[in-house]
Amino acid sequence: MEKIAHLRVRHADIMVKMKALADKDDATFTDADKTEFDTLAKEADTVSEQIARQKSVQDRMAATAQPTIGQDRPATVPAAPESDRYVKEKSLVVGGITKMLGVGGGTIYGAREAAKEIYGESHPVTKALIVSSGPAGGFIVPPDYMNEIIELLRPQAQVRAAQPRNIPMPRGTLTIPGQASAATANYGSESGRITASQQSLNSIVATYKKLTALVPVSNDMMRYADPAVDAFVRDDLVKVIALREDLAFLLGDGTADTPRGLASFANAYAVAGGGTGGVWSTTGNSTAAAGGNFITSTSFYTLATAAQELGGLINKLDTANVPERRRVWFMHPRSKNYLYNVQNSLGVYVYRDEINTGKLLGYPLRTTTQIPTNIRNGDSSQTDCSFVILAEMDEAMILDSMQLELAVSREGSYVDASGATISAFQNDQTLIRAITEHDFQMRHDAAIAISQFVRWAPAIS
The domain that contains 252 carries what CATH number? 3.30.2400.10
pLDDT tier, 201 (very low <50, low <70, confident <90, very high otherwise) = low
User: What domain range is 319 assigned to?
Assistant: 85-178+198-461
382 by DSSP, 3-state: which? coil
Task: Name the band, by pLDDT with cuts 50, 70 and 90, for residue 83.
Answer: low
Instruction: Give the H/E segment covering residue 324.
Output: none
Of the segments 76-80, 102-106, 411-415, 448-452, which one has the largest average pLDDT value?
Answer: 448-452
The predicted structure's pLDDT at residue 135: 44
Q: 92 and 38, same structural domain?
A: no
Task: Report whether pLDDT(176) > 90.
Answer: no
Q: Strands, DSSP E only, in 287-428? A: 294-296, 327-331, 359-360, 363-367, 386-392, 396-409, 413-415, 421-423
| Domain shared by 38 and 119, yes or no | no
The pLDDT assigned to 106 comes to 66
For residue 184, is it within any domain?
no
pLDDT at 92: 75
Q: If you average pLDDT over each of 5-9, 174-178, 387-391, which comes out highest? A: 387-391
Q: Are residues 18 and 134 in the same domain?
A: no
Task: Tell me 291's DSSP state.
Answer: S
H/E stretch holding 209 reads strand 209-218
pLDDT of residue 390: 98
Distance CA(273)–CA(290), nearest Å, equals 10
Asked whether residue 90 falls in the same domain as residue 220, the answer is yes
Which of 13-17, 178-182, 361-365, 391-395 is least confident? 178-182
Domain-located, residue 185: no
Number of domains in the chain: 2
The whole-number pLDDT of residue 458 equals 92
Residue 192 domain flag: no
Work out the pLDDT band at 384, boundaries 50, 70, 90.
very high
Q: Over 60: is that where the pLDDT of 65 sits?
A: no
Tell me, letter by letter, the H, E, C secondary structure of 83-95.
CCHHHHCCCHHHH
**pLDDT tens digits along 289-329:** 999 999 999 999 999 999 999 999 999 999 999 999 999 99
Angle at which helices 108-118 and 92-103 pack, to 10 degrees? Answer: 110
Region of 55 please: left (phi>0), alpha (psi -120 to 50) or beta: alpha
Q: Are residues 56 and 92 in the same domain?
A: no
Task: Write the burial class of residue 415 (CB in 10 Å: 0-12 exposed, 13-18 middle, 19+ buried).
Answer: exposed
pLDDT at 456: 96
User: If pLDDT is split at 50, 70 and 90, which confidence band does 180 have?
Assistant: low
In a domain, 189, yes or no: no
Q: Is the pLDDT reported for residue 133 higher than 80?
A: no
- The residues near 24 (Cβ < 8 Å, ≥ 6 apart) are 33
The answer to whether residues 32 and 126 belong to one domain is: no
Rounded mean pLDDT of the chain?
A: 83
The reply to whether 247 and 158 lie within a common domain is yes
Question: Is pLDDT at 81 greater than 70 in this prediction?
Answer: no
Q: Is residue 19 a part of any domain in this protein? A: yes
Whether pTM > 0.85 for this model: the answer is no
pLDDT band at residue 236 under the 50/70/90 scheme: confident
Instruction: Say whether both 151 and 279 belong to one domain.
Output: yes
Confidence check: pLDDT of 146 > 70: no
Q: Are residues 315 and 409 in the same domain?
A: yes
List own/partner pairs for 11-19 with CB under 8 A and 24 or more apart: 11/44, 11/47, 11/48, 11/51, 11/113, 12/104, 12/107, 12/109, 12/110, 12/112, 12/113, 13/105, 13/107, 13/109, 13/110, 14/40, 14/43, 14/44, 14/47, 15/44, 15/109, 16/107, 16/109, 18/44
Looking at the chain, the number of H-run helices and the number of E-run strands are 14, 15
Examine the domain organization and report whether 48 and 137 are in the same domain: no
How high is the pLDDT of residue 140? Answer: 54
Lowest mean pLDDT among 148-162, 366-380, 403-417, 439-453: 148-162
Q: Is residue 72 in some structural domain?
A: no
Which residues, other chains included, contact 158 with Cβ-Cβ below 8 Å and sequence gap of 6+?
246, 250, 330, 366, 367, 368
pLDDT higher than threshold 90 for residue 134: no
State how far the Cα of 84 lies from the Cα of 76, in Å rounded to an integer.
Answer: 12
Q: What percent of the chain has pLDDT over 90?
A: 42
**Most confident of the following: 29-33, 239-243, 421-425:** 421-425
Indicate whether 418 belongs to any domain: yes
Say what the pLDDT of residue 430 is: 82
- Which has the minimum average pLDDT: 255-259, 265-269, 407-411? 407-411
| CA-closest candidate to residue 378, choices 300, 275, 279, 449 | 279
Same domain (yes/no): 109, 46: no
For residue 132, what pLDDT band results from cuts at 50, 70 and 90? low
Q: Are residues 374 and 324 in the same domain?
A: yes
Q: Is the pLDDT assigned to residue 145 strictly greater than 60?
A: no
Q: 47 pLDDT exceeds 90?
A: no
